[in-house]
């Protein structure tokens, strides 16, 4: 746990304790908000958090559109998903999940986190850059 997270948790718990001293004045909604903020103080507020709770959703990185990639993969947002599709159109189909590391902004940790969600198969050839 990093220092900032520890400080946030300490502050949230302090507010909870202070709020407990004034419990007669606090509404149940306020108490619930303080407890919720204390319990989530060490967690990222990323929009990807709900995906972690779902069962692993698989996606074929060679055929899926950016929206499907964004939805299925953890720590991949709309811009990285679009970059995956653009890279695939320019360079052709991915042969392994590890090739995603060639896409700017995607590292090996992200690939490892998503390995069970990534399907590699099928795909299209790279777009031709020569004119006929």
In this prediction, residue 56 carries a pLDDT of 74
pTM of the model: 0.55
Question: Would the CA dihedral through 43, 46, 50, 54 be positive or negative?
Answer: negative
- Residue-wise pLDDT for 13-27, tens only, equals 565 555 555 444 545
């Amino acid at each position: 746990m990093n220092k900032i997270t520890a400080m946030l948790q300490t502050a949230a718990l302090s507010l909870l304790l202070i709020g407990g001293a004034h419990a007669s004045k606090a509404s149940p909604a306020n108490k619930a908000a303080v407890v919720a903020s204390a319990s989530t103080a060490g967690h990222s507020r990323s929009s990807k958090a709900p995906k972690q709770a779902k069962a692993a959703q698989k996606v074929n990185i060679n055929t899926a559109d950016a929206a499907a990639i964004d939805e299925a993969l953890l720590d991949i947002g709309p811009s990285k998903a679009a970059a995956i599709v653009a890279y695939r159109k320019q360079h052709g189909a991915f042969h392994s999940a590890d090739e995603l590391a060639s896409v700017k902004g995607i590292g090996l940790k992200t690939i490892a986190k998503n390995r069970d969600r990534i399907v590699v198969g099928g795909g299209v050839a790279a777009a031709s850059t020569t004119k006929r």
